[in-house]
Amino acid sequence: MHNAPPGRRRPTPAAGVPLIDGIDKVTGRARYTADLEHRGALVGRILRSPVGHGEILRLDVTRARRLEGVVAVVTGEDCRHTYGVLPVAMNEYPLARGKVRYRGEPVAAVAAIDAETAARALALIELEVRELPAHYDTASARAPGAVLLHEDRPGNIERAVHHVFGDPAAGFATADLVREACIDCAEVNHAQIEPHAALAEYDPQTARLTMQSVSQVTFYLHLMLARCLQMEESRIRVIKPFVGGGFGARVEALNFEIVTAMLARAAEGRVLMELTREETFITHRARPQTSVRIKLGLTRDGRLTACECEVVQRGGAYAGYGIITILYAGALLHGLYDIPAVKYDGYRVYTNLPPCGAMRGHGSVDTRHAFEVLLDRMARELGLDPFAVRRRNLLVAPTRTLNELAVNSYGLADCLDRVEEASGWRGRRGHLPRGKGLGMACSHYVSGAAKPIHWTGEPHAVVNLKLDWDGSVTALTGAADIGQGSSTMVAIAVAETLGVPIERIRVVAGDSATTPKDNGAYSSRITFMVGNAAIDAARRLKKLLIAAAAHKLGEDPENLDCLGGLFGSTRATQTTLSFADAAKAALVNEGTLTVKGTFTCPPEAQGGKHKGGAVGSTMGFSYGAQVVEVSVDEATGRIVVERVWIALDCGFAINPLAVRGQIEGSVWMGMGQALMEETRYLDGMPAHASLLEYHVPTSVDSPPIEAYIVESIDPNGPFGAKETSEGALAGFAPALIAAVADALDVDLDQLPATPDRVMDALVARRRRQRLQHQPAGDAK
Amino acid sequence: MTAPLPPFRVLRPQAIEAAVAAGAAPGGARYLAGGTDLLVNLRRGLLAPAVLIDLGGIAEFADIRCTDQRTRIGSGVTLARLATDPAVGARHPALRAAAVAVAAPGHRNLATIGGNLCADTRCIYYNQSEWWRRANGICLKSGGEICHVAPEGKRCHAAFSGDLAPALIALDAVAEIAGPGGRRRIACADLYAEDGRAHLQLGGADLITAIELPAEPVRSGYLKERVRQAFDFPLAGVAVALATETGRLSMLRVAITGTNSRPFLVENTAALLGRAVDEELLGQLDKLVQKQVRPMRTTLTPAGYRRIVAAALARRLLASLGASAAASVA
Amino acid sequence: MLDDGRSTRGKRILRVRLNGLWREDAVADNQLLVDYLRESVGLTGTKTGCDGGECGACTVLLDDQAIPACLTLAVRCEGRSIETIEGLAAGGRLNRLQRAFHEHLGTQCGFCTPGMIMAAEALLRRQPAPSDQQIREALAGNLCRCTGYVKILESVRAAAADA
């Protein structure tokens, strides 16, 4: 374990460093998948199911195949192998076989010489479907007699989870106040600005496939390509070009990626598949519509005594990440506060809608929202300050939660102090004019799943460093930089460990032909795991360099160090050796040096022994507290977010500039979900499938966000660092709802808090107040 | 690129007469102004004209002329220019406010006043891709048999969603039309009919050439409710123009967009004249608006909200314009 | 006379000043400016993020004005000046907005960045010292999913101060 922070020694500027690939982005040189050279490539297009649930009676592609300019047509007949996430729950075909289960499900695909021809070919495919009853909501899917989407899942339940830790009944018995709330959170989507795209090339001479795609998880994509195309893994190469955001949209192999590869193989050539924005929305895999029933017990002075929570997620038509999402939703009730007893019942339900998946804050966001909203209401009822209630229930690190999650560092108390002070909470709360309000909430998230999806016994992360005769250090990592700055983080970790300026480091990332396998950009694992592996590799390389430099300088290696790119004695300073010369010395008799660093989570960090106990386990939780200030227009119901103060305990900020960027972005994404983002289906048709109907907030909808970094120095994190990209998200919506309650005394039970819902709540409040003021005899 | 536009030829006439002649030629032609509405609809396969007549080459369309009697705005004047022209802003605040409220800055650099007046009506069942509309069953407006918004009815309920029309209607503007039969003038309020499929009272070759507004001073304003504060069509948009004499309303025109298939002038406001703007008056306007708007399920936001918010905006505008009128009297 | 310049194969010769240099290309009447730039010229810095006019990723300058290239026919640009992100770094040196977006992390995934910078460039040309509200309004048609616009605002502010 690399547990000591490097004494805050920073060859890199304290404010942080710009992204090492930033110049490519601001000049337009950065090539995203659709920008890759594709002259002569065929155009791929997908035919999608018009119905929500049905048996495919006939699929005739003869006429499409005959059309001049069409080179390949593929259908479900061309792939008899399922794909998915968990090895036990892969129940999806890249192209539907036998049945279609949601409107928009891929059924067939063509590769043609141009877009016009591809469109004409799709129109020539004949599809006949016998419609089955479709279930577009969880109640209908769970009702007795509902048609099953998957024969092996009775009641259309993909997974039911029942976990009890501690003694909830005893906990509620000791409470002074027990309250319950039913909170409904709409389905939302990642809406990364880059639409999905893939470029696949199949060489029939060598029987090799090269895949370039928007993936966050090139390794998992590689696995699924091999599985679905029945190719040897070694014949496949997966490359990640620049990726225009992910947020979880691309943390599993996606149907269009496999379909593009199928087309390339069938066409024996190169196929570029660009999905429309509508298709990108239909591909979905985002946060499900979630109904939460939550019950909390509090003592008069704000001590939590018990929590009971039931979660129902509308999962869509296939498994995807579903089992993991429903487990996360319960597991992360733990780890933020000290709660003596927790009961959790979760139901992941199959419905005839596009499959849900992982999205920033995976699994935790909607349950955290419900928890914090209810806690705020109960604090008001008891006349307690919301900050005081949180402080009453803090954990003390190191500790293990009831469900065996390790909490090794815990900066929540500092986060609370920072935002309470910065927002002027004490002087302002309760003194704002009518229509204005302040609210607060807390949240947390994992720094990488301690147990990966595909458990192979390998380390959790591997980084290679190559040192060559020119004195350059190349870091090779499979970690997918999707804009979060992970390649820059690797460069900093290596540079700081070696003691050289960051300019000496090059990072090559995300190419299965050259970089070591990496599980990818999900569950906020990269900084913690890949960062530790990078430090490990740099330490090994440094050891070799110091030995060579010591030999050259005639010094004892024990007394040598590298600072600012110069090797010199830690005792005397008269003789130094440049990094380039040390490198040359190290290569004598060895040639080009390649060293490897690894990181492995120890078994004791991998969660409890109960079923599903691995989900939620991590080496380190990030912690956040935030305050949101709103104005609410009573005449129109419109909420304006005036300002946000957020403090996040990220352990240690390896690149403070990027850390702030991640905190701001995640808070803002929470705002979108809280205020206006929502996917909506009309009889299963995605009515939101454009950036006009799916409301991503614009610059004029977005408030100033003041981000504060709290550094608790995690004992296991790289330089003490933990995750920073997800933990702040879940706190926004409950802080907003609390602020609206503070402003107008209305309780909102639904997300997003759109103007119409606010108006409904205001009308309900007025009705309630009228009834309260009527003399009892008048009430009829 | 994912899908090409349907094939068409582009003509670029330099004079109004040539444009109208091209518009009247058989074979199906459409006028192309800024293109921010038409090209989106072409991309979605909502229409496929054989010819687009690009109006960008007609020089006089880009003029704004102000005289003591009137303001004359060429139909090709962009919304960006309307939003920044000092004379327009000073004389017709509602028009300026409406122009600023449209879409986003990039669109406003392309979009024109004429194009905004002639924008197609919108509906959640209509403004979708071809795949979507086919999968869902082609709607009345797309040439099908059924309106998904009101399946039992016979008409299309798509909502007019332009922002400029209510401002121009409230400001009593007149549109100059060039058509195969020559030139004519129509009050902006009379350009529209309550039919989502045929909301424009213009022939296919008719072309709005200019808009004229009376220059006499009236107070005016425009307010728009939408989910996002940019890049969004109105759930309801309300324009109010009024004049007062000794603190009492002497003229009041209220026009609304986003709730019906046409932008319309609220009727029966005459009863409010001669009175001071007070709570009772505001309440009466609120009732008039709620009674006359007809929002349907054409947006994802519930229709009931659009009704309430239209009234709330009308009320708010009347209150603020009435108050500033009172202040200037005092 | 109306369809002057049309060749026989349904294309016509388009003459535009692209990033400062005049050039001529054959384009079809139904070709969008964004596809002309990306597919015909190979300037892939201009991005496509939506199905038409909904995200701003394709923002370019047409005679100094920021416009969505996905809602503009290429043939309508005849004789006019078009600037894309590739034209901003004169002589290979970053312009002030590019430098500021890089140094202040106004870019994360980078996909909205070219359009965002072009919209900001149009703003600074007509308003060299914009207020925060003016910056927000000028960029309201450019969606970003990474930054919450916080560092984008900082970047534009810094670039304006760098005049």
Q: What is the pLDDT of residues A180-191, one digit of tens each?
A: 999 999 999 999
For B171, other C-beta atoms within 10 Å of its C-beta total 25
Structural domains in chain A? 399-444+618-780 (3.30.365.10), 452-600 (3.30.365.10)
Contacts B122 to C, Cβ<8 Å: none
Taking alpha carbons only, the member of B258, B10, B11, B212 closest to residue B119 is B258
Average pLDDT over residues A394-399: 98
Cβ–Cβ gap B1/C3 under 8 Å: no
In the block, tokens 């009834």 appear at A771
Question: What per-residue confidence (pLDDT) applies to B27?
Answer: 80
- Give the helix/strand (H/E) hosting A641: strand A639-649
- The reply to whether B48 and B94 lie within a common domain is no
Average pLDDT over residues A395-416: 97
For B150, other C-beta atoms within 10 Å of its C-beta total 15
Question: What per-residue confidence (pLDDT) applies to A776?
Answer: 54
Point out which residues pair with A175 in neighbouring strands. Answer: none
Q: At what angle do helices C150-161 and C96-103 cross, to 10 degrees?
A: 140
Cβ–Cβ gap A661/C147 under 8 Å: yes
Cβ–Cβ gap C140/B13 under 8 Å: no
Dist CA A624 CA A699 (whole Å): 24
Question: What per-residue confidence (pLDDT) applies to C3?
Answer: 46
Dist CA A730 CA A645 (whole Å): 14
Q: What are the strands, taking DSSP E only, across chain B? A: 9-11, 29-32, 51-54, 64-66, 70-74, 174-179, 182-187, 207-214, 219-225, 236-245, 248-257, 264-265
- pLDDT classification of A572: cutoffs 50, 70, 90: low
First to last CA, chain A: 71
Q: Taking phi first (over 0 means left), then psi (-120 to 50 degrees means alpha), and beta for anything else, what does residue A594 get?
A: beta
Question: What per-residue confidence (pLDDT) applies to B323?
Answer: 85
Dist CA B328 CA C72 (whole Å): 46
Question: What per-residue confidence (pLDDT) applies to B4?
Answer: 87
Of B12, B41, B56, at which residue does a domain stop? B56
Q: How many domains does chain B have?
A: 2
Contacts C99 to A, Cβ<8 Å: 26
Contacts C111 to A, Cβ<8 Å: 32, 192-194, 244-245, 483
Given a cut of 90, whether residue C15 has pLDDT beyond it is yes
Least CB–CB distance from C94: residue in A26, A276, A482? A26
Sign of CA dihedral A573, A579, A581, A586: positive
CA atoms within 13 A on the CB side of A729: 30
- pLDDT classification of A769: cutoffs 50, 70, 90: confident
Of B56, B81, B102, at which residue does a domain stop? B56
Q: Identify whether B147 is part of a domain.
A: no
Given a cut of 70, whether residue A762 has pLDDT beyond it is yes
Q: Which residues, other chains included, contact A738 with Cβ-Cβ below 8 Å and sequence gap of 6+?
A: A372, A373, A376, A386, A437, A439, A440, A441, A628
- The reply to whether B182 and B244 lie within a common domain is yes
- The reply to whether B45 and B93 lie within a common domain is no
Least CB–CB distance from B1: residue in C35, C54, C71? C35
- The reply to whether B49 and B107 lie within a common domain is no
Q: Identify whether B204 is part of a domain.
A: yes
Given a cut of 70, whether residue C4 has pLDDT beyond it is no
Task: Say yes or no: A695 contacts chain B, CB-CB below 8 A.
Answer: yes
Given a cut of 50, whether residue A90 has pLDDT beyond it is yes
CATH number where B44 lies:
3.30.43.10
Question: What per-residue confidence (pLDDT) applies to B216?
Answer: 87
Cβ–Cβ gap B5/C52 under 8 Å: no
Chain B nearest-CA residue for C119: B106
Neighbour-count burial for A74-99, b at 16+ CB within 10 Å, e otherwise: bbbebbeebbbbeeebbbbbbbbbeb
Q: Chain A neighbours among B 139-198 (CB < 8 Å)?
A: 148
Task: Say yes or no: B270 contacts chain A, CB-CB below 8 A.
Answer: no
Given a cut of 50, whether residue A257 has pLDDT beyond it is yes
- pLDDT classification of C140: cutoffs 50, 70, 90: very high
CA dihedral A345, A349, A353, A358 (to 10 degrees): 50
- The reply to whether B171 and B314 lie within a common domain is yes
Q: What is the percentage of chain A residues whose pLDDT exceeds 70? A: 97
Question: What per-residue confidence (pLDDT) applies to B2?
Answer: 75
Q: Chain A neighbours among B 56-115 (CB < 8 Å)?
A: 104
Q: How far is C36 from chain B (nearest CA, A)?
A: 10
In the block, tokens 């899908």 appear at B3
- pLDDT classification of C1: cutoffs 50, 70, 90: very low
Q: Which domain covers residue B164, as residue numbers?
A: 63-117+160-329
- The reply to whether B218 and B106 lie within a common domain is yes
User: Could you write out the DSSP letters of every residue in A63-103?
Assistant: HHHHSTTEEEEEEGGG----B-SSGGG--B-SS--SEE-ST
Average pLDDT over residues A377-386: 98
Q: Chain B neighbours among A 182-211 (CB < 8 Å)?
A: none
Taking alpha carbons only, the member of B197, B166, B310 closest to residue B261 is B197
Q: How far is A758 from chain B (nearest CA, A)?
A: 10
pLDDT in tens, B137-168: 999 999 999 999 999 988 999 999 999 999 99
- Give pTM, 2 decimals: 0.97
Chain A nearest-CA residue for C50: A277
Q: Identify whether B128 is part of a domain.
A: no
- Chains interfacing with A (3 or more CB pairs < 8 Å): B, C
- Chains interfacing with C (3 or more CB pairs < 8 Å): A, B
Given a cut of 50, whether residue B262 has pLDDT beyond it is yes
What six digits make up the tokens of A437? 């309000």
Q: Identify whether B323 is part of a domain.
A: yes
pLDDT in tens, B279-316: 999 999 999 999 999 999 999 999 999 999 999 999 99
CATH number where B197 lies:
3.30.390.50
Residue A267 Cα to chain centre, angstroms: 35
pLDDT in tens, A2-29: 434 444 445 567 789 999 999 999 999 9
- 3 state SS of A728: coil
- Angle of CA points B221, B225, B228, to nearest 5°: 125
Dist CA A565 CA A504 (whole Å): 9
Q: How many residue pairs from chains B and C have C-beta atoms closer than 8 A?
A: 102
Mutation choice for A interface testing from C105, C112, C131, C137 by most A CBs within 10 A: C105
- The reply to whether B191 and B97 lie within a common domain is yes
Taking alpha carbons only, the member of B90, B5, B75, B74 closest to residue B33 is B75
Given a cut of 70, whether residue A668 has pLDDT beyond it is yes
Least CB–CB distance from B131: residue in A48, A688, A700? A48
Chain A nearest-CA residue for C109: A483
Least CB–CB distance from A115: residue in B4, B134, B308? B4
> In Å, how far are A299, A509, A687, B232, C113 from C141, measured between CA atoms?
50, 33, 22, 10, 13
CA atoms within 13 A on the CB side of A517: 13
Task: Say yes or no: C105 contacts chain A, CB-CB below 8 A.
Answer: yes
- The reply to whether B26 and B105 lie within a common domain is no
Dist CA A361 CA A248 (whole Å): 9
Tell me the average pLDDT of chain B. Answer: 95
Given a cut of 80, whether residue B330 has pLDDT beyond it is no
Q: Chain B neighbours among C 46-75 (CB < 8 Å)?
A: 48, 51-54, 56, 59, 62, 65-68, 70-73, 75
Cβ–Cβ gap A682/B125 under 8 Å: yes
- Determine contact, residues A410/A391, Cβ cutoff 8 Å: no
Q: How far is B211 from chain C (nearest CA, A)?
A: 24
Average pLDDT over residues A88-112: 97
Dist CA B7 CA B51 (whole Å): 9
Task: Say yes or no: A685 contacts chain B, CB-CB below 8 A.
Answer: yes
- Angle of CA points C90, C95, C97, to nearest 5°: 150
Residue type, C97: L
Sign of CA dihedral A713, A716, A721, A724: negative
Residue type, A489: M
- The reply to whether B205 and B299 lie within a common domain is yes
- The reply to whether B218 and B79 lie within a common domain is yes
Task: Say yes or no: A103 contacts chain B, CB-CB below 8 A.
Answer: yes
User: Could you write out the DSSP letters of every residue in chain C?
Assistant: -TTTTB-TTSEEEEEEEETTEEEEEEEETT-BHHHIIIIII--TTS---SSSSSS-TTEEEETTEEEEGGGSBGGGGTT-EEE-GGGTSGGGPPPHHHHHHHHTT--SS-SSHHHHHHHHHHHHHH-SS--HHHHHHHTTTS--SSSTTHHHHHHHHHHHHT-
Q: How far is B44 from chain C (nearest CA, A)?
A: 8
- pLDDT classification of A1: cutoffs 50, 70, 90: very low
Average pLDDT over residues A514-534: 96
- The reply to whether B185 and B321 lie within a common domain is yes
* Interface confidence (ipTM) of the complex: 0.97
Task: Say yes or no: C11 contacts chain A, CB-CB below 8 A.
Answer: no
pLDDT in tens, A116-158: 999 999 999 999 999 999 999 999 999 999 999 999 999 999 9
What six digits make up the tokens of A204? 């029939």
First to last CA, chain B: 62
Structural domains in chain C? 7-86 (3.10.20.30), 96-161 (1.10.150.120)
- The reply to whether B164 and B69 lie within a common domain is yes
Cβ–Cβ gap C109/A668 under 8 Å: no
